[in-house]
Structure 1
């Protein structure tokens, strides 16, 4: 499912909201998750899962096209851990 499909489904289930309102709600939801992760926080949605970040160390990589070695800087990457309810529903 992509973002526009999510907006359409929510708009269909809530006829009192316009599609523009639903888009604003979905955008705010994702923006807040992103802002919290950028601040090195954690976002937990009970029954769904938890979003957090993990640190990746600096390393030496390789350019696949030329074979040349490249220095890759340390960085933080997003991580998702599914909740207990989600795992149970997936493994029915």
Structure 2
């Protein structure tokens, strides 16, 4: 399911226009993005939680040349599924 299909399903489920569903989804994603950018965590009970994982600086190898390279430290979004979501998938 891509974003367009998701918006269509959301509009149908909520009995609203496609434009309203797209704005609602956009708002939810913006809230999650801004909270993670600020270093926070978003926990949706039963569904899962979004948080920021810190990746330390490390060394790697260029696969073409074999040369050692330094990979900078970074932050990455992380999602952990909740118990209810896991149960629904494993039904």
Do Structure 1 and Structure 2 share a fold, with TM-score over 0.5? yes
Counterparts of 2:89 and 2:19, CA distance in 1: 32
> Residues 47-81 of structure 1, C-alpha deviation per residue, up to 9 Å, x if partnerless?
10011111111011112222222211111111111
Q: CA RMSD in A?
A: 1.3
TM-score by length of 1: 0.88
Give the aligned length: 91
Counterparts of 2:50 and 2:22, CA distance in 1: 22
- What stretches of structure 1 move > 3 A for 4+ residues in a row? none
For 1:42-61, list aligned pairs within 5 A: 42-61=41-60
Query: In structure 2, what is the equivalent of residue 13 of structure 1?
Result: 13
1:80 equivalent in alignment to 2:79: yes
Mark the runs of 5 or more structure 1 residues left unpaired by the alignment. none
TM-score by length of 2: 0.89
